[in-house]
Amino acid sequence: MYDVYCGAGGATKGYQRAGFYVIGVDINKQPRYCGDEFIHMNAFEFFEKLLSGTYREPFAIHASPPCQIHSTMTKGIWKDRLDSHLNLIPQTRAALIELGKPYVIENVAGAKNELINPLMLCGTMFNLRASNNAQLRRHRYFESCPVIWFAPATCQHERQPAIGVYGGGQHPLMKKRVRKNATIGVYGSTGGQSSRDGKSFYGIDDRRLAMGIDWMSGKELNQAIPPAYTEFIGNQLLKALQ
């Protein structure tokens, strides 16, 4: 399997647990990438080379196009940056369809209307938690071919502290410290306690624990998928195709 736009490999690790040999592809070097092989290349250049036979045919392809244009944070406090982000989902889908292999496209909640028959997964479906038992509430949407219709469970949001992991670093205008609220978000703080928007943050150890990822930096965690999600997706793909 190829994991395109792989980052440090949150999706990769889940597919490996499902039994796949995973080759990551990313335009940026990824020194902490956890996969079996890594290709440093632009996604669309890679798709062209794959189509031409330069690389071996995969069983399936996973792609996580950059999500900033669909992020609620980009549309909110950083909406002035929208023009600098591209919607790569349609172009990515077209390339995957041309390749003719089973595929998965993953993106954030803001992109769900861009995806076809998407499946939503949340950390609460897999009982992902921080050290104080706070739930990981991280919704991600998956378009797949063949279609995976059913999640392993429904969202189980409890009335207790929650930990969310969101992309982007701390906004320079929001440094006022506040008391902890019932719902806790993680917005790019790499350690210790921090705060923004009236919510306090977890440090990197709790963020890693909740995500099920122990090898990434804080910045990499912000963009990652919990491996539990793609372990489930990978197992469903295998069942559908076998």
Query: HEC states along the chain?
Result: CEEECCCCCHHHHHHHHCCCCCEEEECCCCCCCCCCEEEECCHHHHHHHHHHCCCCCCCCEEECCCCHHHCHHHHCCCHHHHHHCCCCHHHHHHHHHHHCCCEEEEEEHHHHHHCCCCEEECHHHHCCECCCCCEECCCEEEEEECCCCCCCCCCCCCCCCEEEECCCCCCCCCCCCCCCCCEEEECCCCCCCCEECCEECCCHHHHHHHHCCCCCCHHHHHCCCCHHHHHHHHHHHHHHHC
pLDDT over 70 at 200, yes or no: no
Task: Return the number of other C-beta atoms located less than 10 Å from residue 5's C-beta.
Answer: 22
Residue 85 has a pLDDT of 57
pLDDT, tens digit, 9 for 90 and up, residues 139-148: 999 999 999 9
Distance, CA of 90 to CA of 124 (rounded, Å)? 29
Q: Is the predicted pLDDT of residue 111 greater than 60, yes or no?
A: yes
pLDDT at 81: 44
For residue 48 the two structure tokens come to 């062209």
Domain locations in the chain?
2-241
- 174-193 pLDDT, tens digit per residue, is 334 333 333 334 343 333 44
pLDDT band at residue 213 under the 50/70/90 scheme: very high
pLDDT tens readout for residues 5-58 = 999 999 999 999 999 999 999 999 999 999 999 999 999 999 999 999 999 999
Query: Which of 43, 140, 50, 26 lies closest to 91 in space, CA to CA?
Result: 43
Say yes or no to pLDDT of 133 above 50: yes
Amino acid at 117: N
Report how far residue 79's alpha carbon sits from residue 72's, in angstroms, rounded to the nearest whole number: 9
For 2-241, CATH number? 3.40.50
